[in-house]
Amino acid sequence: MRKARILAIVAALMVVASASSAAALDAASIRKRLVVAVPAEVNVVGLVGGVRPEVMIRLFDEGSASHIRLAAGLLFGAEYTYVPLALGYRAIYRAGKTIRPTVGVGVEWQSFIISDADAVMRAALYVDYGVRFELPNNHAISVQLGPDLAMWSEPGVGFSARAGWSYTF
């Protein structure tokens, strides 16, 4: 019985070790596909300004334009604080060139934090068009413009302009 218990523990440890190795390999390969950015942003509908850091993961081989994008923003305005969370797709074209056009689309969860009332939250779609200016050592400056459109519980529009630093791992 004791032998069986020891064998079970060893087998479990081997499974955990192999899973960790696999995870480590995935983490390493993900890191090579990462692009991070910290742009400043202004949304001219309602007028808020702040930052919206984003992480992009390249989907396919080096040179591919396709990326998954996750972004979370914190923007301040006279009437509310705006916290958007975005999940989407961004294409970054012309790999290896200095000037690279970008186009993106996705969904956002938009929260409007009001000082003396309940927060308003809604889902929206966004589109953005922009350009990256590649700099030495994997740095870049990126600029995007684009509308967002909420069509369900609290319909409305927005239009954002973003510019900032980006780094490709």
Partner 1 sequence: MSRRLATISAFIALLAAWPATAHMPQKIALIQTVEKPRISWALYGRFDKGDEVYTIKLSYNTGFALPFELLVPHHNEMETFRPAYAVVGPGLPAPTTEESTFLPKTVPAGSGVFVARNDAKERLVIFESIMRRVFWSTGPVALPLRAGDYEIWVFSPDGTSGEFTMSLGVEEDFSGGGWKKVFEDWSTFAY
Q: For the window 49-78, what string marks contact with partner 1 as x by the rule CB under 8 A? A: -----------------------------x
At which residue do the structure tokens 């239009």 appear? Answer: 159
Decide: is 105 part of the binding site for partner 1 (CB under 8 A).
yes
Residue 11 or 157 having the CB closest to partner 1? 157
Measured from the CB of residue 74, what is the shortest distance to partner 1 in angstroms?
16
Return the beta strands (E) in the chain as ranges: 34-43, 48-51, 54-58, 66-72, 74-77, 81-92, 99-113, 120-134, 139-150, 156-168
Q: What SS3 class is residue 61?
A: coil
Please, are residues 34 and 56 in contact by the beta-carbon 8 Å criterion?
yes
Measured from the CB of residue 105, what is the shortest distance to partner 1 in angstroms?
7
> Applying CB under 8 A, which of residues 25, 36, 114, 123 lies at the interface with partner 1?
114
Q: Which of residues 25-44 bind partner 1 (CB under 8 A)?
A: 43-44
Decide: is 87 part of the binding site for partner 1 (CB under 8 A).
no
- Give the count of residues interacting with partner 1 (CB under 8 A): 27
Q: What are phi and psi of 96, to 5 degrees?
A: 90, -10
Residue 18 or 64 having the CB closest to partner 1? 64
Distance CA 28, CA 128 (A): 29
> Applying CB under 8 A, which of residues 42, 46, 89, 109 lies at the interface with partner 1?
46
| Position 76, amino acid | F
Of 75, 67, 52, 48, which Cα lies nearest the Cα of 143?
52
- Where on the chain is the footprint of partner 1 (CB under 8 A)? 43-47, 78-80, 103, 105, 112, 114-117, 120, 122, 127, 147, 149-151, 154-158
